Amino acid sequence: MDRRDRLYQQVANRLRDEMDAGSYAERLPTENELVDQFEVSLTTIKKALSLLVEEGRIVRISGKGTFPTTSALASGDRSDRAESPKTVGFLIPVLPDEFSRRLLKGVTERLAKDGVYPVIGLTAPDSGQEAEVIRRMRDLGVDGLIICPLERELYNEEILRLKLDRFPFLLVDRRLPGIETSYVIGDGRGLTRQAVEHLVSLGHERIALAATSLRPQLTQSLAERIEGFQEAMRDHGLDGDEIWTVSESPTPEAEAWTMIKQRLLSGVTAVIGTTTLDTVLIWRAAEAVRIRIPEDLSLVGFDYSGIVDSPGIDLAPAPAYEMLTWLDQSEEAMGNKAAELILEVIADPSALPCAVVPGVFHPGGTTAEARSGQITPRIETASR
CB 202 within 8 A of CB 367: yes
Q: String of b and e for 369-382 (b: at least 16 CB within 10 Å)?
A: ebbeeebeeeeeee
Is residue 217 scored above 60 in pLDDT? no
Q: Is 147 helix (H, G, I), strand (E, B) or coil?
A: strand
Of the listed ranges 66-70, 345-349, 378-382, the one predicted with least confidence: 378-382
Work out the pLDDT band at 23, boundaries 50, 70, 90: confident
Residues in the chain: 384
Residue 336 neighbours by CB distance under 10 Å:
22
Structure-derived torsion over alpha carbons of residues 376, 261, 210, 98, reported in degrees to the nearest 10: -120
- What CATH number was assigned to the domain covering residues 188-328? 3.40.50.2300
- What CATH number was assigned to the domain covering residues 87-186+330-359? 3.40.50.2300
Q: Average of pLDDT values for 270-277?
A: 90
User: Residue 359, exposed/middle/buried by CB under 10 A (0-12, 13-18, 19+)?
Assistant: buried
Strand partners, 64: none
Q: Amino acid identity of 158?
A: E
CB 123 within 8 A of CB 93: yes
pTM of the model: 0.70
Phi/psi of residue 53, nearest 5 degrees: -65, -45
What is the reported pLDDT for 80?
46
Of the listed ranges 134-143, 272-281, 283-292, 319-328, the one predicted with least confidence: 319-328
Residue 224 neighbours by CB distance under 10 Å:
21
Strand partners, 327: 302, 361
Q: Is 217 helix (H, G, I), strand (E, B) or coil?
A: coil
**CATH 1.10.10.10 segments of the chain:** 2-82
What tens digit of pLDDT does each residue of 219-245 get? 678 888 999 999 999 999 999 999 998
Helix (H) or strand (E) holding 283: helix 276-288
Q: Average of pLDDT values for 76-90?
A: 60
**CATH 3.40.50.2300 segments of the chain:** 87-186+330-359, 188-328
Is residue 374 scored above 60 in pLDDT? no
- Helices 2-20 and 42-54 pack at an angle, to 10 degrees, of 60
One CATH from 1.10.3720.10, 1.10.3290.10, 1.10.10.10, 3.20.20.70 for 2-82: 1.10.10.10
Q: What percent of the chain has pLDDT over 90?
A: 42
What tens digit of pLDDT does each residue of 173-183 get? 888 777 789 99
